[in-house]
Homo-oligomer: A and B are copies of this chain.
Amino acid sequence: MIGKALELIEKGKLRLRVVDQFIWEEEFGKRAAKWREAVKMADYVRLRYIEKKTGRHYEEIQKCRIDTADAKKLTTGIEQKIGAAKIPLGFAGPVKIKGDHAKGEFFVPMATNEAALIAGANRGIKAINESGGITATVIMSGMARAPVLEAKYMKSASRICRLIESKGKLYKELKREAEKDSKVSKLVDIKTYQIGNKIWVRFVFDTGDSMGMNSATKYAANAVRILTEKHNLRLVTLSGNLCTDKKSAHVNVLEGRGKKVQTEVIIKRNIAKKLFKVDVEDIVKLHWIKNYQGSALSGTIAGFNANVANAIAAVFIATGQDAAQIVESASAFTYAELTDKGDLRFGASFPSIEVATIGGGCGFGTARECLEMLGCFGPGKRPGDNAKKLAEIIAAVATAQDLNLLAAQAHEYELADSHIKLARGK
């Protein structure tokens, strides 16, 4: 069968994306019980095809199978699958979190290629744990999608904006239409932004434990029909880049996207001294020069932190999140100051951590197990509980990482030394 399929592909008679279907039909006579097997064979066929084309054998990929199927249909997941990519997986923690949703101690799975990353997180976590844990709270939750619509004239566009912003009849109608196909998602807000006869209508949805980009798109599309059919607007695009997805943008800082999370830990002065060999004053001072003055000079919008991206990327990849959303999820405004008692108040504001515990890459393989490790796989007791828990955990470990990095850089040369040594396995 594999040979036959390969032959057909090479002759151009079988397309790579439908190999699964072909094998299922030809080899397994369309028996539902054989779905998984058909997909597995199809993956192999495609890999063999690439091997022939590139003249190499890919042993590791061949061994690294992933089963993204579910019980309801033959093909799911990505197209032209050939297997799975492997990223080294470790863990940090346990980190003690006093969150609204994440309560207790968590072993945090982190997938990364970067040496010193987990060791760094762990040193930050140690300081946190010895100080009684880190507080974390989701202060806003909502996924945004912003279609662009076009009115005949600027004034008609203004009129529509005013109608929507006033939260009157039109707002309610849009909300009803947006929510009509949804079981869980709720429209939480609509804001409008205008340039001439164009308006960007930014819909925000609470989408429970899913990341929500697909549902927000669909529900926004439903609502938009009201505007195009009854209000003489023309749809330009369902996504006008003011959403803003997979780009670092200030609208997400002010309005939030996904989960807006705050963290806080009070590190005792003597604990910082013991673990980091620095005075807390030095951390505060460096924090301002590096995270704010340096970042201000660099022309950043949401990068007022030392390096939250490392931790956020590592947990995102471990838990099956949408890796392209690392771009805006790795936004943070850290803070560091002395308390009245001379201890260190440390934490960060994360405006847009976009996570899910259902859908996308969450449901299978190692990602599912990593979510289970955190106790937040699948839908929460109340919709959104698990996604918020995950967001709090990610914010906590990113804060730990940033704390450690600042403390480490507060030593002259320590960054260079430690980083390089660890990278080289010394």
A305 to chain B, nearest CB (A): 7
Count how many chain A residues have C-beta atoms less than 8 Å from C-beta atoms of the other chain: 163
Spot the interface stretch: A25-33, A231-239, A378-386. Answer: A231-239
Closest Cβ of chain B: how far from A58's Cβ, in Å?
4
Is B217 a contact of A415 with CB atoms below 8 Å?
yes
Q: Which residue of B lies closest to A234 (CB)?
A: B412
A345 at the interface (CB under 8 A from B): yes
Given contacts A89-B85, A244-B300, A347-B154, contact A94 B317 (CB under 8 A): no
Q: Choose from B86, B154, B347, B416 the contact partner of A264 (Cβ within 8 Å).
A: B154
Q: Are B335 and A198 interface neighbours, CB within 8 A?
A: yes
Q: CA A240 – CA B292 in complex, angstroms?
A: 9
A87→B87 CA distance, assembly (Å): 8
DSSP majority for the A interface?
mixed
Contact B54 A85 (CB under 8 A): no
Whole-angstrom CA separation of A195 from B298 in the bound complex: 12
Q: Kindly list chain B residues whose C-beta atoms are within 8 Å of the C-beta of A353.
A: none
**How near does chain B come to A220, taking the closest CB pair, in angstroms?**
8
Contact A118 B196 (CB under 8 A): no
In the complex, what distance in Å separates the CA atom of A158 from the CA atom of B367? 32
The listed residue with most B CB atoms (<10 A of its CB), out of A59, A122, A154, A158, is: A154
- Is the beta-carbon distance between B291 and A118 smaller than 8 angstroms? no
A304 contacts chain B at the CB level, 8 A cutoff: yes
- A286: chain B residues at CB < 8 Å are 236-237
Asked whether A296 is an interface residue with its Cβ less than 8 Å from the other chain, the reply is: yes
User: Contact between B299 and A250 (Cβ–Cβ < 8 Å)?
Assistant: yes
B195, B262, B307: the one contacting A333 at CB < 8 Å is B195
Contact partner of A368 among B60, B115, B235, B251, CB < 8 A?
Answer: B60
Partner of A78, one of B68, B112, B302: B112
Complex interface: stretch among A3-11, A169-177, A267-275, A324-332? A324-332
Q: Is the CB of A137 within 8 A of B158?
A: yes
| Contact partners of A137 in chain B: CB under 8 A | 154-155, 158
Q: Which of A337-383 contact B (CB under 8 A)?
A: 337, 345, 347-349, 360-361, 365-370, 372-373, 375
Give the residue of B217, B221, B305 whose beta carbon is less than 8 angstroms from that of A247. B305
Cα–Cα distance between A156 and B38 once the two chains are bound (Å): 50
**Which A residues from 270 to 328 make CB contacts under 8 A with B?**
285-286, 288-307, 309-310, 312-314, 316-318, 320-327
State whether A195 touches B297 (Cβ < 8 A): yes
CB of A253 within 8 Å of the partner chain: yes
As for how many copies of this chain the complex holds, the number is: 4
Q: Kindly provide the distance from the CB of A408 to the nearest chain B CB, expressed in whole angstroms.
A: 10
CA distance A157 to B393 in the complex (A): 20
Measured in the bound complex, the distance between the Cα atoms of B347 and A242 in whole Å is 20
Please pick, from B58, B122, B155, B244, the residue contacting A303 in the complex, using a CB distance under 8 A: B244
A190 interface residue (CB < 8 Å to B): no
Question: Within 8 Å CB of A1, what residues of B?
Answer: none
CA A1 to CA B153, docked complex, whole Å: 48
> Which of the residues B81, B111, B298 comes within 8 Å of A89, measured between beta carbons?
B81
**Residues on the B chain within 8 Å of A326, using CB:** 313, 323-324, 326-327
Task: Give chain B residues whose Cβ lies under 8 Å from the Cβ of A320.
Answer: 87, 113
Q: Judging by beta carbons under 8 Å apart, are A301 and B248 in contact?
A: yes
What is the distance, in angstroms, from A70's C-beta to the closest C-beta of chain B? 8
**Contacts of A316 on B, CB cut-off 8 Å?**
323
Q: Give the residues in chain B near A290, CB-CB below 8 Å.
A: 148, 236-237, 239-241
Q: Are A249 and B300 in contact (CB under 8 A)?
A: yes
Residue of A75, A114, A245, A323 with highest tally of chain B CB at under 10 A: A323
Contact between chains at B264 and A155 (CB < 8 Å): yes
Given A80-B91, A254-B254, A345-B196, the answer on whether A365 and B60 have CB atoms closer than 8 Å is yes
Question: Beyond the given A85-B87, A195-B333, A214-B420, could you list 4 further A-B residue pairs with CB under 8 A, ordered by the A residue number?
Answer: A217-B416, A247-B303, A250-B250, A288-B288
